[in-house]
Amino acid sequence: MLSAFKSLFLLLIVFVVFFLLVTALRTWHNGSDFISLIPSFLRKSETNHPEAFTPSEKSALNLSDVEMISRLNQEYARLTQAVVPSVVSIDTAGIRTEKLMDFFGRADVRSYPTQGQGSGVIVSKEGHVITNHHVIAGQKKIRITLHGGKSYSATMVGEDPLLDIAVIKIDSAETFVPLKLGDSSQVEVGQLVFAVGNPFGLGETVTQGIISAKERSLSDNQRDLFQTDAAINPGNSGGPLVNLTGEIIGINVAIYSRDRANPGFQGVGFSIPSNEVREALKQIIQRGRPIRGYLGVQMLDLDPAVRLELGYVEKDGSAVLDTTPGAPAAVAGLKSGDVVVSYNDEIVKDTAHLISLVQRSGIGKKIKVDVWRKGQLIALEATIKEATSAPVYSEVSMDKKTRENIEILRKVGVEVRDLTDEELALGSTGVLVTRILDQGKAMGILLPGDLILSLNNSRISGSNEFYLHLVASAAIQSTSLAVLREGKPLRLNLPSP
């Protein structure tokens, strides 16, 4: 009996020791203190002693020590208070339709709801608001929210897709507080500016920066933009860029971002100068649409192939590919093979520059055009007309040269389209390949979805420009293309047909 009791006692001791060892190992493994193993009633009670804490009640400097910065701070605040009430938030809603084809060639139309958000600025007491065209493009419903939170519906007045400007009007008889459109020709590189908008729908925000550069280009339509380091985040599109007196000197339009899927500000933003905005606003208010000059000429950039064919060695200029019969260019005497070297006494840098100058010309204005023709400079005079929709030529009315050009394009076998406003807003440039024709030279080289950035080292901004360059190049040589495919840059060569 005693032996059995001793065995049980020893077994209990072994169990307790084993239990304590396992508990201690778990406590150590969890990083806890071994003191926690002692029962609380056996521990010595701890008394909490308040720490000595003496905060500073004196600022590091007095306002009199930083008087200039203090005044500047107050002035920034006053500027913000004066500008922000005229900046609005824009919410849009619409329906996007898409035509789909099934395996058997049957068409099906599907509709998708779309929503958008951006910024705008009030420019009249009647409630006219300027924003970007891409903010409201294709949207049926437009809603304006003011700084105080009051919301209104709005109606489209007119739009200028090329400049990326739209004018809408608040549906109300109230009187609103507008901002003045300043003189963008007085803007200097380095001057302080403020970008105001409604990024991410959080409410009005103001960012400060400087004008980093002028005469920046995103495309042949958007030229001479202001570049600024004032943060322009998604949602700032359409908001104003203002100077120190609260005048609008630009309308924020785009940012530069390497990540096109998730664009974010990287210190490079662009704004449309106010003088161009004012002119577009004036035309839209008066006639409901923009008015642009028209010369009626097809142009080519001076890449090595074109220079070699023409024998032209100068740096600047744009080559004439063809003129439209009866258009101002044809009446003035421009011919295929001419190089336009100056327009209204301004040196023509390239084709995009010439297009920009023509579009900004006054309707009915006589313009001096200096051209290089087979080694000689010739002064011509053209009377600018208003641009309308491009004429459509039937197969019968095409001349021999036009039919030859079309045949070259068919043999190359690539179809492209212009980029959408949304794609341009994300920083994309060039043209997008939509189709490769069977038996064409592009088969096996290009793929639908490829983004063509340049042709023979000349950047491409539109489908018309791409085809004109391709015709001139493919007729005499292989064509070098800079392509972006699934985010990867490629250099491809199309053989001459």
Per-domain boundaries in the chain: 84-170, 184-287, 293-386, 400-494
Query: In the predicted model, what is the mean pLDDT of the chain?
Result: 79
Once rounded to an integer, what is the mean pLDDT over residues 230-237?
Answer: 77
| Amino acid 368: pLDDT | 93
Compute the CA torsion angle 158, 164, 165, 170 (nearest 10 deg): 70
* Number of neighbours of residue 327 by Cβ within 10 angstroms: 17
Fold adopted by 84-170: Thrombin, subunit H (2.40.10)
Fold adopted by 400-494: Pdz3 Domain (2.30.42)
Over its C-alpha atoms, the chain yields an Rg (Å, rounded) of: 34
| Amino acid 38: pLDDT | 59
* Number of neighbours of residue 358 by Cβ within 10 angstroms: 25
Whether residue 176 is predicted with pLDDT greater than 90 in this model: the reply is yes
Q: Is 471 helix (H, G, I), strand (E, B) or coil?
A: helix
H-helix or E-strand spanning residue 123: none
Tokens of 445: 């080289």
Q: Residue 49 catalytic?
A: no
Distance, CA of 100 to CA of 117 (rounded, Å): 28
pTM of the model: 0.58
Closest CA relative to residue 453, chosen from 444, 445, 462: 462
Tokens of 326: 């009866």
Residue with tokens 């901002």: 179
Whether residue 101 is predicted with pLDDT greater than 70 in this model: the reply is no
Distance, CA of 87 to CA of 129 (rounded, Å): 9
- Catalytic residue selected from 237, 342, 356, 461: 237
**142 near 120, Cβ under 8 Å?**
no
CATH number of 184-287: 2.40.10.10
Whether residue 116 is predicted with pLDDT greater than 90 in this model: the reply is no
Tokens of 425: 């807003």
Distance, CA of 230 to CA of 239 (rounded, Å): 12
Contacts of 92 (CB under 8 A, 6+ apart): 114, 115, 116, 117, 118, 135, 136, 139, 141, 142, 143
Whether CATH 1.10.357.10 fits 293-386: no
Q: Residue 164 catalytic?
A: yes
- Confidence class of residue 102 from pLDDT cuts 50, 70 and 90? very low
Q: Residue 134 catalytic?
A: yes
H-helix or E-strand spanning residue 325: none
**Do the domains 84-170 and 293-386 sit in the same CATH topology, yes or no?**
no
- Catalytic residue selected from 160, 164, 229, 350: 164
Report the range out of 23-32, 51-60, 337-346, 438-447 with the highest average pLDDT.
337-346
Whether residue 52 is predicted with pLDDT greater than 60 in this model: the reply is yes
More confident residue, 99 or 227: 227
Q: Which of 167-171, 307-311, 313-317, 474-478 has the lowest mean pLDDT?
A: 474-478
Whether residue 196 is predicted with pLDDT greater than 70 in this model: the reply is yes
Distance, CA of 37 to CA of 156 (rounded, Å): 75
Q: Is 12 helix (H, G, I), strand (E, B) or coil?
A: helix
* Number of neighbours of residue 121 by Cβ within 10 angstroms: 26
Closest CA relative to residue 146, chosen from 159, 165, 127: 127
**113 near 98, Cβ under 8 Å?**
no
- Catalytic residue selected from 128, 133, 134, 353: 134
Report the range out of 77-86, 132-141, 258-267, 396-405 with the highest average pLDDT.
77-86
Distance, CA of 490 to CA of 422 (rounded, Å): 24
Whether residue 227 is predicted with pLDDT greater than 60 in this model: the reply is yes
